[in-house]
Amino acid sequence: MDSLKNRVGIDVGGTFTDFVMFMPGADRLVSHKHPSVPSDPSRAVIQGLAELLEMTDTTPKQIGAIVHGTTIGLNAILQRNGARVALLVSQGFRDVLEVGRGRMPSSLNFHAVKESPLVPRDCVIEINARLDPQGNVLAAPTGAELERVRSEIRALAPDAVAVMVLHGYANAAFEERLVTSLSMHLPGVSFCSASSIWPEIREYERTLVACMNASIQPLMQRYFDRLEAGIASLSIEAPLFISTSNGGLVNLRTARARPVETLLSGPAAGVTAASRIAVAAGADHVVTFDMGGTSSDVAVASGGQPEFTTRTDIGGLPLILPTVAVEAIGAGGGSVVHVDAHGIIKVGPKSAGAFPGPVAYGQGGKAPTVTDCYLVIGILDPLRFFNGKLALDVSLARAALLDIATALGLDGPQAAEKAAWGALRVATAGMGAALRKMLSTRGLDPVDFTLLPYGGAGPTHASFLADEMEMAHVLIPGEASTLCAFGAVLADLRRDFIRSLRCTLDARSMDELRQCITALEDAGRVWVAEEKRIVESVSFQREVEMRYGGEAYDLKITLPDVDVTELDEKFVAECFHRRHEALYGFRDADAPLRIMAVRIGVIGHVRPVPLPEGAGQADEPQLAGRRQVFLHDGWHDVPVYDKATLGPGFVIAGPAIIEQSSSTVPVLPGWRAEADRHGNLRLLRAGQSCS
Amino acid sequence: MQLDPITLEILNNQVVSVVEEMCMTLQRVGRSLYVKETADFACALAGVDGKFFAYPGSIGVSGFVGLDCMPAIREAGTLAEGDVLITNDPYHSQGLATHLPDLHVIAPVFHDGRIIAYLWAFVHCSDIGGRVPSSVSTTNTEIYQEGLQIPPLRLVKKGRIDNEIERLIRVNSRTPDNNMGDIQAMLAAIGLGQRRVATLVQRHGIATFLAAQKDLCAYTARRARAAIEKIPDGSWAFSDYLDSDMVSGLPVRFAVKVVVDRGRITLDFTGTDPQVHAAMNIPSAGKVHPWLTLRIMALVVTLDPGIPLNAGLQFPIEMIAPRGSVVHPVRPAAVGVRHAACVRVNDVLNGALGIALPEVMTAANSGVIIPVVAAEPAGDGERNVQVVEPMTGGTGARHGMDGTDGRDPSISNLANNPVEMVESELGVRILHYGLRAGSGGAGQWRGGMGLELVFRIGVDDTLILARGLERMRFRPWGVQKGSPGVLTTLSITYADGKVEKLDGLDIIALGQGDTVSLCTAGGGGFGDPLEREPALVLSDVRRGLVSVEQARQEYGVVITDRQVDAQATAVCRGRPLAREHDLGRLQWETVFSPAVMEVFGRFLDTLPASRRHGEKVRLIAQVMALLPANFPVVRVEPDVLAQAHDAFATAVAALPAGAGHAC
């Protein structure tokens, strides 16, 4: 049985490619890092994989599945260097991409420019084909019309053609037939029908899904080919799965056909892992906090389930596929500290990136970063950074921060440290402002949440941010720096299906709703059946998008995964009223309810990965040393502990430093730390702390 | 500044976080579409001086950052702990509210028994009574027709809503539940603001909190001044017109002189027309007011995108807005669509600054915001009313950059409606919704293209409304030899094939099969079209935005077989080019020359504010009688223009004495 074989999760980052292997036989998790190869990410994947096999004495035959996340598609869209795509649209709507939703990035800054369209206007072709909102055919192309369109496509010689018929979501077969009759005489041109990829009402957004898919498909397919060949060269026969933006994974066949689903797979996998770890550790409501080099990302998860969004911004283009809702909230470890022309300190948004990186890297960076601040105040040990793989020069960092101090009018022997401490507080205030805003949009209060940090700097910055947010709990996973790869190992198969409905809720439309759910779930079952070898069970996530008649905003409600005959009109209505009341504080019992769309997530559960159990009660942890740390306004002599020696139950009071593999956790004054039995570190705040 | 630069930046983040959180709460709990969908609301923190020191950057209406709460606070009398004042009255709040649907609330924040700040919120409510549903109509002539006026008074006293005031507001509105829902949402936002401010005071201490109010504004003012210092010292004048006030049918003239002196900027609106008997007046109270300074704030933000938004943005600005003019009306002038006038105020400021900063400012934007609304019969005399599309045009070109095609965020950065949604909600069929090729003014950098919307009526007796139809007489101007954008046009093709061109529209009833075609103006061009890179002209031709004829006639670029013919282009560009110009403005100003208009204006200023508009209409109508009906759009012989001008000059000269020394 394949589900008992080893599963490997792989995440390609800017600096490192991370590997996590789950070995069900030995009940063991192993992680590994290999430097990334930006020019061909698959090389690092293959080399690292080979190293992983060797270091764990695993034979290729013992590998049951490889799960891989990639940002190749995302980068191609952001840099607009994907395939040459032609777009075919209903007559009258050539400008669907140019007009977009009509908004500009700023209403005040008149030098702001609109996003450049994914397909330029001269590659857009109109065709006399159109439906009405019920899916009835209003115009169908004649043979002559089809031939005209074919010759226009030939003239453009595109790699791929995206197709959008107005109201195509209401009659996907029409668009399919159109594609069939066009492609018959156009060998070598691949077509991508918007209504078959994502049949949701809203022509601009649906067209974009098709264009994005068409634009990244050729290069993703080439990448998958290289990856497959590389894996075969290691004699591994296990199937390859690709992580998706909804926190799940799909088989290679689906990923080749629908690469647009993989765009945001990296961050989604991290949140998936974080939310599972949280539930296992008894934290039901978490804010995940991934602090990387250039920025910090947050997401909300409750009961192990990350929150989804159906509107993500991809460099100015909206993506409506269900995606784990990850938002950027500001500075990362590489964000630059500077003083503006009026003497005020700023952190970011510029980042030093991987090169030149922080000043302390000694690669020529002149502008101090958040990482330099940690070093100068003593939180980071220059000899232990990245497990000692990167030698850091504190004196360079201190000199750069001294310049900042001078510009701020700070002097005295501790000027550089004061500037560093101030910069960290400023960075934290900025993150806090963004995080508060994100939570209050959802009507959530930060004090009800545990902060779950990961990424290179997340564990280092977590208690600063928790203090700012008045959050009392921080949960730091044992493998905080390889969480995205871990998420890939954990993830279940998942695909989302949608149908737009637009009817008023009554007995008749309830029938339609039930049929719709059944049809989508049947399609989901067929899809998941392809992976019988690793799927142990199937479940469904049912969401209905509804609104009050006369209102223009939709709300998603979740219906239980029970027999559809048990779902009646009254139950659905009450679900909606309740949700509305919870979010907006009122219900309108007299208003008609409109059903707008149904979304079904089909989940093929893989064998669950048990979280590692710690080595039982430990004695008093060994002091690994002491170091001088500058906190608030002076130096403190602070004990340093090695996380590996920290058993569950023992409490460390701040100020203290805990070193764990590839991250450093400061326990600030007013906080205490303890390890739990899963190898996580918990930080708890006692009383209030000043800003 | 009193605070150290680290504390200041921390507080800068934290106070903005408070007001943005207030906004999120308001939007989440709010009831009406204006709040939920179009985000026509805002929240802010005002200092003890009533001016905003913290304003949201990423949600809500950004333009109101320059409002002043203090006159409303004074008018309401003493505010105690737990009180919240409400007002929508532009005149008694001295321009805090700027039309009646905007409900403003203000609550004092107390600490140790004294007021340390004010929390402010506003929403555009669905309806506050008056002559028409939604309360806003261009053709209202007095504020009494525009709905219930609420002078600043205490809605909440010691934490409890005054039921009598609530009843008064309820019975005067067509949407009482929505309004009270939105008011409750504002109170919820204020409650959150009270708690968050208390936390900030606890963390930083009251002295630091009070110092931050001043320091944050001073910091922004410094940055604003640094931006304005990029404008050379000097004085620049510009004028522009609204096609019509929609009541008298006459154009409305806006004139400004911008004087810059070492980082200070004075806006002098002398020469702007008297207040009109229509709802286009801007109730600024004659002060430095957001509706009169929006383009200056936009300039500062454009030059310094990261600048914190607060009252300091306006510190470098001084205002001269003559009392009784469109930009400083006196009661009871109607104000409902003051944003229509603001569009043109933006244009004249943009034009004047463009002379001073040719490499920064743009040519004229389309200058239109037209919400096209369809009201279909829905049985029982009810109507299904929906916006088909909110139509704007393109933006003006600037140095080094073409204008934006089909989008213009300068007044309201609204999202449009997906065609599939519109057709699901209404019986109309949208045949075309896209860019209007050829409409952007030619230039070295061309103006943005306008939009084109063509739709067929599906149900008999459908009413179509198109408020804000503008730029049908006066074209969006180009600069530095750039051509003006093409005029807005509206036509109806009836089911029987008859075509009618309209030069304006308030409301019209149409039948099944009739087709409406609306084309909005393009933005003005920048720089000489002959200087445009032929490759860019070719790209526009290939993309179908400029025709081959237009390329030759307006740019002197000859394109054959989808390629630039370099030789023919050189020849063509060597010959003089017939340039596009704004015939409407040229002819209008030939007859009503600015010099004579200035004398006329001085005469009007001697009259009571309420009489000026009537006098102006009377005299101009006499002259218009000498001209064809669709003057100034239709071409008129020069001698007819000259005769009309003489008649105007003679009439002005014959006005009673005192005309020359009225200021």
> CB neighbours (10 Å) of residue A259?
28
A346 chain-B contacts, CB cut-off 8 A: 9, 306
Would you mind telling me the total number of residues written for chain A in this entry?
A: 691
- Residues B18-43: tens digit of each pLDDT: 999 999 999 888 877 778 777 889 99
Is B24 an interface residue toward A (CB < 8 Å)?
Answer: yes
| CA-CA-CA-CA torsion sign (A295, B60, B365, B598) | negative
Q: Is residue B495 pLDDT above 90, yes or no?
A: yes
d(CA B289, CA B270): 16
d(CA A12, CA B276): 65
Element (H, E) at B202: helix B176-204
- Residues B152-173: tens digit of each pLDDT: 999 999 999 999 999 999 999 9
Is A328 an interface residue toward B (CB < 8 Å)?
Answer: no
What pLDDT, on a 0 to 100 scale, did the predictor assign at position A615? 54
Q: Helical H runs in B329-403? A: 338-356
Tokens 């320091």 found at: B215
Q: Which residues contact B325 (CB under 8 A, 6 or more apart)?
A: B269, B272, B273, B274, B275
Q: How confident is the model at residue B178 (pLDDT cuts 50, 70, 90)?
A: confident
Q: Is residue B217 pLDDT above 60, yes or no?
A: yes
Distance from CA of B225 to the nearest CA of A (A): 11
CB B118 within 8 A of CB B46: yes
**Percent of chain A at pLDDT exceeding 70:** 97
Residue in B17, B203, B432 nearest the CB of A436: B17
What pLDDT, on a 0 to 100 scale, did the predictor assign at position A15? 74
What pLDDT, on a 0 to 100 scale, did the predictor assign at position A616? 52
CB B369 within 8 A of CB B398: no
- Residues B350-363: tens digit of each pLDDT: 999 999 999 999 99
Residue in B10, B414, B415 nearest the CB of A429: B10
What pLDDT, on a 0 to 100 scale, did the predictor assign at position A336? 96
Q: Is residue B201 pLDDT above 60, yes or no?
A: yes
Q: Strand, helix or coil at A113?
A: coil
Secondary structure, 3-state, A666-686: EECCCEEEEECCCCCEEEEEC
Distance from CA of B652 to the nearest CA of A (A): 41
Q: Which residues contact A267 (CB under 8 A, 6 or more apart)?
A: A290, A297, A299, A324, A326, A484
CATH of domain A492-605: 3.30.1490
Q: How confident is the model at residue B51 (pLDDT cuts 50, 70, 90)?
A: very high
d(CA A79, CA A67): 26
Which amino acid would we find at residue A677? R
Q: For residues B324, B329, B333 and B334, what is the CA-based torsion angle, rounded to 10 degrees?
A: 140
Distance from CA of A579 to the nearest CA of B (A): 13
Q: From B461, B459, B457, B439, select the one nearest B448 (Cα to Cα).
A: B439
Tokens 């019986």 found at: B427
Q: For residues A668, A672, A676 and A680, what is the CA-based torsion angle, rounded to 10 degrees?
A: -10
Cβ-defined contact of A110 to B362 (cutoff 8 Å): yes
- Residues A140-152: tens digit of each pLDDT: 999 999 999 999 9
d(CA A541, CA A561): 7
Q: How far is CA A398 from the centre of its chain?
A: 35
Mean pLDDT of chain B: 94
Is A633 an interface residue toward B (CB < 8 Å)?
Answer: no
Is A408 an interface residue toward B (CB < 8 Å)?
Answer: yes
What phi and psi values does residue B640 have, to the nearest 5 degrees? -65, -40
Strand-pair partners of B464: B374, B508
B424 chain-A contacts, CB cut-off 8 A: 133, 201, 502
Q: Any idea where the domains of chain A sit in the sequence?
A: 2-76+220-262, 81-214, 335-426, 492-605, 623-685
Domain A2-76+220-262 has CATH 3.30.420.40: yes
Cβ-defined contact of A344 to B9 (cutoff 8 Å): yes
B545 chain-A contacts, CB cut-off 8 A: 121
A166 chain-B contacts, CB cut-off 8 A: 419-420
Burial A8-26 (b: 16+ CB within 10 A, else e): bbbbbbeebbbbbbbbbee
> CB neighbours (10 Å) of residue A620?
9
CB A271 within 8 A of CB A306: yes
> CB neighbours (10 Å) of residue B292?
27
Q: Which of B 226-255 lie inside 8 A of A, CB atoms?
A: 226
- Residues B504-539: tens digit of each pLDDT: 887 899 999 999 999 999 999 999 999 999 999 999
B13 chain-A contacts, CB cut-off 8 A: 426, 429-430, 432-433
In this predicted complex, what is the ipTM?
Answer: 0.92
pTM of the model: 0.93
Rounded average pLDDT over A325-342: 93
Q: Is residue B7 pLDDT above 70, yes or no?
A: yes
d(CA A500, CA A202): 10
- Residues B388-440: tens digit of each pLDDT: 999 999 999 999 999 999 998 877 777 889 999 999 989 999 999 999 999 99
Mean pLDDT of chain A: 91
What pLDDT, on a 0 to 100 scale, did the predictor assign at position B378? 84
- Residues A29-87: tens digit of each pLDDT: 888 988 888 888 899 999 999 999 999 999 999 999 999 988 889 989 998 989 999 99
d(CA B189, CA B178): 16
Task: Extract the tokens encoding B519.
Answer: 């084309």
Give, as one character, the DSSP assignment of residue B541: H
Is A232 an interface residue toward B (CB < 8 Å)?
Answer: no
Which amino acid would we find at residue B220? T
| CA-CA-CA-CA torsion sign (B429, B435, B441, B447) | positive
Cis peptide before A356 (omega within 30 of 0): yes
Q: Is residue A691 pLDDT above 50, yes or no?
A: no
A107 chain-B contacts, CB cut-off 8 A: 62-63, 409-410, 412-413
Q: Strand, helix or coil at B538?
A: helix
What pLDDT, on a 0 to 100 scale, did the predictor assign at position A614? 59
Q: Is residue A273 pLDDT above 70, yes or no?
A: yes
Q: From A481, A494, A329, A460, select the one nearest A15 (Cα to Cα).
A: A481
Q: Helical H runs in B229-356? A: 290-303, 338-356
Give, as one character, the DSSP assignment of residue A186: -
Is A350 an interface residue toward B (CB < 8 Å)?
Answer: no
Is B435 an interface residue toward A (CB < 8 Å)?
Answer: yes
CB A47 within 8 A of CB A53: no
d(CA B269, CA B288): 12
Distance from CA of A120 to the nearest CA of B (A): 8
d(CA A246, CA A324): 5
Q: Is residue B557 pLDDT above 80, yes or no?
A: yes
d(CA B302, CA A527): 51
Give, as one character, the DSSP assignment of residue B410: S
Give, as one character, the DSSP assignment of residue B619: H
Q: From B93, B3, B132, B110, select the one nearest B48 (Cα to Cα).
A: B110
Which amino acid would we find at residue A341? A
Q: Helical H runs in A452-503? A: 458-469, 483-490
- Residues A345-395: tens digit of each pLDDT: 999 889 887 778 899 999 999 999 999 999 999 999 888 776 666 778 999
Mutate one of B3, B7, B17 to test the A interface: name it (highest A CB count within 10 A): B17
Which amino acid would we find at residue A287? V
Q: How far is CA B378 from the centre of its chain?
A: 33
What pLDDT, on a 0 to 100 scale, did the predictor assign at position B657? 62
Would you mind telling me the total number of residues written for chain B in this entry?
A: 663
- Residues B575-613: tens digit of each pLDDT: 888 888 999 999 999 999 999 998 998 899 899 988 999
Architecture of the structural domain at A81-214: 3-Layer(aba) Sandwich (3.40)
Cβ-defined contact of B31 to A133 (cutoff 8 Å): no
Q: How confident is the model at residue A1 (pLDDT cuts 50, 70, 90)?
A: very low
DSSP letters for B214-230: HHHHHHHHHHHHHHHTT
Is B220 an interface residue toward A (CB < 8 Å)?
Answer: no
What pLDDT, on a 0 to 100 scale, did the predictor assign at position B658? 52
